[in-house]
Each structure stands twice: as structure tokens, then as C-alpha cells.
A and B are shown apart, each in its own frame.
Chain A
Amino acid sequence: MGWRTLKTLLVALFVMLPLTGVAEVTQAVISVDGMSCPFCAFGVEKKLKTVNGTDEVVVDMKNGTATLVAEDGKSIDIAQIGKAVRAAGFTPGLLRISVVGTVKEDHENLLLDVRNSTLTLQLIKLSSQLKPYLLDLVISGTVASFSGTLSEVQSNLPLLTLETVKEIMP
């Protein structure tokens, strides 16, 4: 195997790394209403660590949020996040997530299929600039990283108010 072949292989491996190393719901930031003392934050942190796919939980008292970071190669189970906050004795607020997946069109709705998962999100409140761009992604089948605020988490088709999109690969 010559140096050129080896180089090609290494480049291919490098390109593949993000695909295998990036979890699908990679991060979730939940607002925890009512959390106002350090001693109470412990219960929130402990309960959120039981959410499937979660590797780390970082609580921020000042902003009243908890950030869940996914385990390598795993997806955070967003349906469990609100339940975990309630089990800690508090009220879940806004849930912002970062997710990897592909966009598809269904009866004029844009849906986001979360990669390696059965989870599908409906993209809502799309700006006039963002919608054509997402339609391009539909045609090209590009895998991208999306972030936004989630609502109707417990329904079959949760809603994602999209804030940012970043292409990962064609």
C-alpha cells in the first residue's frame, strides 16, 4: 500500500469520524422553574442524570437551567427530561436541543428525522429565508446539525422552533 492510498484512507476515516462520534440529540438545555437554592439543585442534577443517553448534567443556578450532554454515540431521550425535572419537585420550562438528522417534506410540512432514531420532529415557525434552504437540504439529503426550542415533547410529533442549522456532510 503506497503513501497515496494510505493518505486517502486516513482522509476517509477523518471524514467518517463525525458520523460515528456525534450523538443524535447531542445536547439539551432545560429551564427548571422554581430551582432557587444549591441544595435543591442536587436533586435536579441527580434526576436528570437518569435520562437515557445522558453523560453529563451541568446546572446553572443564575439562569435556572440544566444542560444535558449526550454520551458518545447515544441520543438523549428528550421525552424523559420533563418527567425527571418534575420528579425532582420542580417545573420544566423551555427545552432547547441540538440534534443531528435529515429534513424531509410531508404534506407541505417539513419534518426532521433524527439520525439513528425513530424520533421525528416537525419544524415550525420557519422564516422565509430558512424554508428554501431547508427544501434544498431535503433534495440533497444532507445530514445537518439543528438547534432550537422544543414543544409538545410528549406528543408523537414534537415541534421544533428552529434557530440554527449547520450542514455536517452532503
Chain B
Amino acid sequence: MKRTRQAKWFGFIQQGLQPVVPLLLLTFLALPAFAAPITFNTALPVAQGEGIFRAQFKYLTASDDGPEDRDLTVAMVPLVGVYGLTEKWALFGILPYLNKELEVNTAVGRRRREVSGFGDTTFLARYTVFQQDRPGQTFRIAPFAGLETPTGEDGEKDSLGRLPQTLQLGSGSWDPLLGVVSTWQTLERQIDVAISYKFNTAANNFEFGDLVRFDLSYQHRIWPRELGSGVPAFLYGVLESNLIWQGHNAVDGHDDPDSGGATLYLAPGIQWVTKRTVLESAVQIPLIQNLNGNALENDFILTLSFRRNF
């Protein structure tokens, strides 16, 4: 009897391990899009000695149609600070506040596990290696490197015991990332392209799969149609895409077959840009989800965001 009960709890916890892909994607999507694109970074400058603050709200749901009927909801508020160290160097710090909730059918009924708190903090440095400025337009290339530090709690428990690693607020690991972003901006439109790689390392006998992403953004000024004098506010229509691939997670050194895979998002959005403030919103809709095994599929990711020059 006792063994049967243990097996049920074990099965429940195992199910909790499965929503790996959406959780990680959300974490990685919190990169500091401090200027132009909504869902990723840009190569546009931060003035030396000046700062930008960004607060985002991200809401993600993921689910499956299997017998467990898993429902994952994640609400996230990444707080981003950006500082222009020099005209070429910009430093970023990202601290997310997370609420994760998983509901799943088990042999003992439908269960819910939830956790809230600050997650892992990411620090990034970006350097502009190429810059070509002309009247009313700029083209830049800027590599960046960073480190996700284990500031989030990675030993959270509830009445059922320790939460599975994928539901924890923090990974417990030190995870470096590298990438490069390029931006071409004119007074009418902007294109951003970025590619990045995150090397996830092991902690708590668990290692998230490495993450590669390729991002593309097009922004078109839809208002004002004709530019007047001074610095008018711009309304941009935005269309972005994010191609994200993640490797298998490893549990005790063994690959988890129900984790990792590739997802292609299309994200229409809108952006209101003034001299000091940006208000924006986008919805990332998964066009293609080629996930491994029984990994959870994303339904959508909603982003609301606010940026302020100071």
C-alpha cells in the first residue's frame, strides 16, 4: 500500500518535470529588449552615463491534450536596468519576478503546484563593433555576452515535497550566454536580427538543455505619416519572429526524452515611442512546435512592456 502511494506521488512529480520547454523559453525571452524589438535585444545605443529602465509583464500558457491534462501558467515581470558605460559598451541587469502554476491530473485527483518569487538574475554586456551612421539612418552590429546567475530559489517545496526543477524559481546553475545583434534603422522603419546561444550548466543533478535562438524584427512607422519638426512620438507596427531550439534536459546525467525541441513564433505587436517612454505589446504565437517526446506545447506568450529613459 505504502509503495503504491509512493509510486503515485513519484508519478505526479515526474509529470511536473515535463513542462520544460515553455518554462525555459519564457526565462530566455526575458532578455532586455531595451530599445527597438519587443521580444529580443537591439544594437541601438545607450548614451554614455545614462540609463534605461524597463518593466515587462509576460504571460504564458502551455497545455497538452493527454490524460494528465496539464495546464501550465506563468506570469512574469522582468525588471531590466540598462546603463551606457561608454558610447560603445552597454551593461544590462535583468531580475524577473515569477509566478508559476501547474495543474495536472494524477491518480489521486487533479493537483496544483505553485510558486512565486524572484528568479535568476542575468547580467549582460554589449559592445558595438560596427557602426555606420548617416543622416536619418544607422546600421550597427553588436555582440553581447552574459551570465545568468542563480539568485532565484532552487529548493522550493510545497505540501507534496520539493518542487521539480522546472518549476523552481531559479535553476541553481551559472549559465553563460553569447550572441550578436544587428540593427538597421531609418526614420520610417527598422530591422533587427539576432542570434544567441545559452550554455546551460548543471545544478541539483539537473541540467537544462542548451538554447539557441534566431530572432527577426520588422518595425514600420505607421504614425505620423509625415514627420513634422521637433521630436514627435512614433507609432510602430511590429512583426517579429523567434526561432528557438533547445536541447534535451539531463536528469542525473541522462537525457530526458520529453524535453527540448524547436519552436517558431510569430509575434505581431504595436509600439508607442516618445522621447522618454516606450509602451508596447506583442503576442508570440507558436507557428511550428517540433518538440521532443511529451513536452508541453506553448499556447501563446503575451508581452506588455514599458521603458523609460532617465
Contacts and interface: CB of A to CB of B under 8 A. Distances in A.
A60 B229 contact: yes
A16 interface: no
A31 B135 CA distance: 8
B225 interface: no
Nearest to B35: A39
A38 B233 contact: yes
A47 interface: yes
Q: Which of A40, A44, A62, A86 has the most CB of B within 10 A?
A: A40
B216 interface: no
Contacts of B143: none
B222 interface: no
A74 to B, nearest CB: 23
Interface in B267-303: 273-276, 278
Contacts of A41: 231, 275
Interface string B41-61: 000111111100000000000
B87 interface: yes
A38 B232 contact: yes
Contact of B275 (A39, A47, A64, A87): A39
B232 A88 contact: no
B273 A33 contact: no
Q: How large is the interface on A (under 10, 10 to 19, 20 to 34, 35 or more residues)?
A: 20 to 34
Given A37-B190, A40-B45, A89-B84, A45 B275 contact: yes
Given A34-B138, A38-B234, A61-B187, A43 B229 contact: no
Instruction: Pick from A31, A37, A46, A47 the residue with the most CB of B within 10 Å.
Output: A37
A42 B275 contact: yes
A38 B273 CA distance: 7
Contacts of B276: 39, 42
Interface of A is mostly: mixed
B131 interface: yes
Given A39-B274, A43-B47, A88-B45, A61 B309 contact: no
B50 A86 contact: no
Interface in A92-149: 93
Contacts of A44: 47
Contacts of B133: 33-34, 90-91
A58 interface: yes
Contacts of B67: none
B228 to A, nearest CB: 7
A87 B48 contact: yes
A90 B132 CA distance: 9
B45 A43 contact: yes
Contact of B227 (A62, A86, A88): A62
Interface string B214-238: 0000000000000111111110000
Interface in A16-56: 31, 33-47
A35 B227 CA distance: 14
Given A36-B137, A60-B230, 19 more contacts: A33-B134, A33-B135, A33-B138, A34-B131, A34-B134, A34-B138, A36-B187, A37-B190, A39-B276, A39-B307, A40-B35, A45-B275, A46-B47, A60-B231, A61-B230, A87-B47, A87-B87, A88-B45, A91-B133
Interface of A: 31, 33-47, 58-62, 64, 86-91, 93
Interface of B: 35-36, 44-50, 84, 87, 128, 131, 133-138, 185-187, 190, 227-234, 273-276, 278, 307, 309
29 contacts: A31-B135, A33-B134, A33-B135, A34-B138, A35-B138, A36-B136, A36-B138, A37-B234, A37-B273, A43-B45, A43-B309, A45-B231, A46-B47, A47-B47, A47-B48, A47-B50, A59-B230, A60-B230, A61-B231, A62-B227, A87-B47, A88-B45, A88-B87, A89-B46, A89-B47, A89-B48, A90-B45, A91-B131, A91-B133
